[in-house]
Amino acid sequence: MTAPRVYDLVVVGATGYTGTLTADHIAQFLPTNTKWAIAGRSMGRLEELAAKLSKLSPDRAQPVVETVDLSDERALAQLVGKVKVCISVVTYWQVGEKVVKSCIESGTDYVDAPWLGYGVSFCPETNDITPDDSNGDIYGLKGWIDKYHEQAVAKGVTVSIPLKALAALAHGDRLKRVWFTLTTSHQLIHACAVFTAPHDLLTLLLARELRSRASVQARKVVVAVTDMPTEISGGTAESIMHGATSSTQDVAAELRNPWLLSPVAGDTTGSRDQRDFFGMCSEDGLGLLSDTSYSAAQDRHIVHRTWGLLSGSDNDYGSRFRYREYTRVESRTSGIVKYLNMLLTSCILRFAFLRAFAKRFAFPAPGEGPDVEQSRLDRFTIEAVAVGELDDSINDEAAPRAYGRFTFHGGGACLAQGAAALVSGSRDDVASGRQGGMLTPAFLGTALLERLCKVGGGVEVRML
């Protein structure tokens, strides 16, 4: 049995760009009595952040500053053992695994935000650039799942609950504090950030809509990013530089498997979108689409993991399900411009001297990024269409279709509200029968969806 937790949540890596945005959201929107901490290496930077946060919400419980050397596993374990939920915004490929391991060993729930690539994969062995075949920290996450998922499933979280109970008459009928224990599932929610969590949630809603309204499963979900700022933070830029020099031919080949993170393999049969030379196609209900969404590869892997984990449950998407993601464009010209811009980025990644130039003059430094004040106001919109499975047919025109639209704010809303859902013990029925483990944002279901809507988001789902 673990000791009572001191904090509801902690933001590890709080002084980085994404960490600051997440702490900012907690200070403004989570309950004022939330007990929380901000953690990192630099006491000075943490105290500076704490001072800024106190001005945003002076009437709330202020975060405690916790310094921790993330390379010190004992110190890290002591920190996460104090909290109910750990929000990790550290660099995956540097110290991310240490945080995951500590959370599992401590029975601490967890949310994180892996970095996104830029829709291209570079293999130094062949000098090949492949648009949208891989990105982000997906391969690292695959290794974590292989090593820790079953351990996390078996772990569970034993919590101590203080209750007042009548003492025996021998103790003078006085009220005493008694500790009861309860074991719940242990959840680690990966990719619970603005570029992935809404996409995973909207896919879940559309699959449910098809099942409840048309009594069919989903054969595919196509997401169109219609309004999403694309400026990157310094931490993301640093990881892009790392990824461009560390990929191998074997890794690139594995990342092309859309079910890399899924516990079961998907069906490779079925129709494919007819993208032209410039990566463009169209979809009824969404319009003209460009294969230039730089979150597409990561989201495909995460959503397909959701699909695999839900396979055979009441929330099963369908045996032939596929996820696809694009950017919606107003014209063919704008689509071509986006595609050429992506190819330009691939050239920067391909050559060492151009990467060095971009790192110095084009990309922000670690800890920096788009204006924080503006990021608080950034509004994102994604739209999606789900096409139902009609017997063995792949005829989209005859199949039932559902449409969804999700508008939400950026910043650290998804991470903070995802952590808050875990702190509150909220469980959507999507997680019924699942004893925890290394999961995806969809496993927070309506608990996260409703929280995002309360802080300025909006969702529409209907049959077409």
CATH of the domain at 181: 3.40.50.720
pLDDT at 351: 65
Cβ neighbourhood burial of 226 (10 Å; 0-12, 13-18, 19+):
middle
User: How does residue 368 score in pLDDT terms, banded at 50, 70 and 90?
Assistant: low
Same domain, 275 and 260: yes
Q: Report d(CA 105, CA 147) in Å as an integer.
A: 13
Cβ-Cβ contacts under 8 Å for 317 (sequence gap 6 or more)? 203, 207, 217, 218, 307, 310, 311
How many structural domains is the chain composed of? 2
Last residue of a domain, one of 188, 213, 244: 188
**Top mean-pLDDT range of 168-177, 178-187, 228-237, 356-365:** 356-365
Q: What is the pLDDT of residue 38?
A: 97
How confident is the model at residue 134, as a pLDDT? 40
The count of residues in the chain is 464
Q: Which two tokens stand for residue 433?
A: 């029968």
Q: How confident is the model at residue 239 (pLDDT cuts 50, 70, 90)?
A: low
- The answer to whether residue 169 scores a pLDDT higher than 50 is no
The SS3 assignment for 285 reads coil
pLDDT at 238: 55
Q: Are strands 322-328 and 287-290 parallel, antiparallel or unpaired?
A: antiparallel
* Structure confidence at residue 126 (pLDDT): 41
In a domain, 433, yes or no: no
What pLDDT score was predicted for residue 161? 42
Cα separation of the two ends of the chain: 51
201 shares a domain with 168:
no
Q: Look at 211 and 93; give whichever has higher pLDDT.
A: 211
Mean pLDDT of 367-396: 74
Based on the domain organization, do 262 and 130 belong to the same domain? no
| Phi, psi angle pair for 403, to nearest 5° | -115, 145
Residue 7: exposure state from Cβ atoms within 10 A (0-12, 13-18, ≥19) = buried
Neighbours of 51 (CB within 10 A): 10
Q: Supply φ then ψ for residue 241, to 5 degrees.
A: -60, -40
Please tell me the distance from the alpha carbon of residue 359 to that of residue 97, in angstroms, as a whole number.
25
Nearest residue to 23 via CA among 74, 108, 94, 87 = 87
In this predicted structure, which of 57-61, 184-188, 368-372 has the lowest mean pLDDT?
A: 368-372
Q: Are residues 241 and 268 both part of a single domain?
A: yes
> Would residue 2 count as lying in a domain?
no
* 249 and 391, same domain (yes or no): yes
Task: Give me the pLDDT at residue 58, please.
Answer: 85
Q: Of 456, 413, 449, 422, which Cα lies nearest the Cα of 23? A: 413
Residue 445 lies inside a defined structural domain of this protein = no
pLDDT digits (tens, 9 = 90+) for 201-224: 999 999 999 999 999 999 999 999
Question: What is the model's pLDDT at position 61?
Answer: 86
Pair (233, 148) in one structural domain: no
Select the more confidently predicted residue: 389 or 49: 49
Lowest mean pLDDT among 18-22, 340-344, 452-456: 340-344
**Do the beta carbons of residue 409 and residue 77 sit within 8 Å?**
no
Contact 410, 379 (CB under 8 A): yes
Structure confidence at residue 18 as a pLDDT band (50, 70, 90)? confident
DSSP 330-394: SSHHHHHHHHHHHHHHHHHHHSHHHHHHIIIIISPPTT--S-HHHHHH-EEEEEEEEEE-BTTB-
* CB-based contacts of 319, cutoff 8 Å, min separation 6: 217, 267, 311
The reply to whether 237 falls in a domain is: yes
pLDDT digits (tens, 9 = 90+) for 37-81: 999 999 999 999 999 999 888 888 899 999 999 889 999 999 999
Out of 171, 188, 205, a domain closes at: 188
Which residue range forms the structural domain that includes residue 326? 195-409+452-463
The pLDDT score that the predictor gives to residue 101 is: 93
Amino acid of residue 107: G
Report how far residue 326's alpha carbon sits from residue 150's, in angstroms, rounded to the nearest whole number.
33
Encoding tokens for residue 265? 């393999």
Residue 150 lies in a domain: yes
Residue 428 has pLDDT above 70, yes or no: no
Alpha carbons 142 and 118: distance in angstroms, whole number: 19
Same-domain check for residues 319 and 267: yes
In terms of pLDDT, which residue wins out, 429 or 323?
A: 323
**Which has the higher per-residue pLDDT, 129 or 454?**
454
- Average pLDDT, stretch 331-338? 90
Cβ neighbour number for residue 202 with a 10 Å cutoff: 25
- Residues 213, 324 within the same domain: yes
Residue 50 maps to a domain = yes
- Same domain, residue pair 168 and 212: no
Quick check: 132 pLDDT over 70? no
User: Is pLDDT above 60 for 369?
Assistant: no
Q: What pLDDT is stored for residue 119 in this prediction?
A: 40
Same domain, 16 and 104: yes
User: Are residues 271 and 138 part of one domain?
Assistant: no
Burial of 392 (0-12, 13-18, 19+ CB in 10 A): exposed
**Token reading at 141:** 């996450």
List the single range of 156-165, 345-354, 374-383, 446-455 with lowest mean pLDDT. 156-165
Of 188, 206, 232, the residue that ends a domain is: 188
Residue 18 falls within a domain, yes or no?
yes
Distance from C-alpha of 29 to C-alpha of 57, rounded to nearest angstrom = 9
| Nearest-angstrom CA–CA distance, 207 and 42 | 45
d(CA 451, CA 416): 10
Pull the structure tokens for residue 227: 């309004």
Same domain, 157 and 202: no
Q: How far apart are CA 194 and CA 199, in angstroms?
A: 9
114 falls within a domain:
yes
Which of 69-83, 120-134, 144-158, 305-319 bottoms out in mean pLDDT, i.e. has the lowest? 120-134
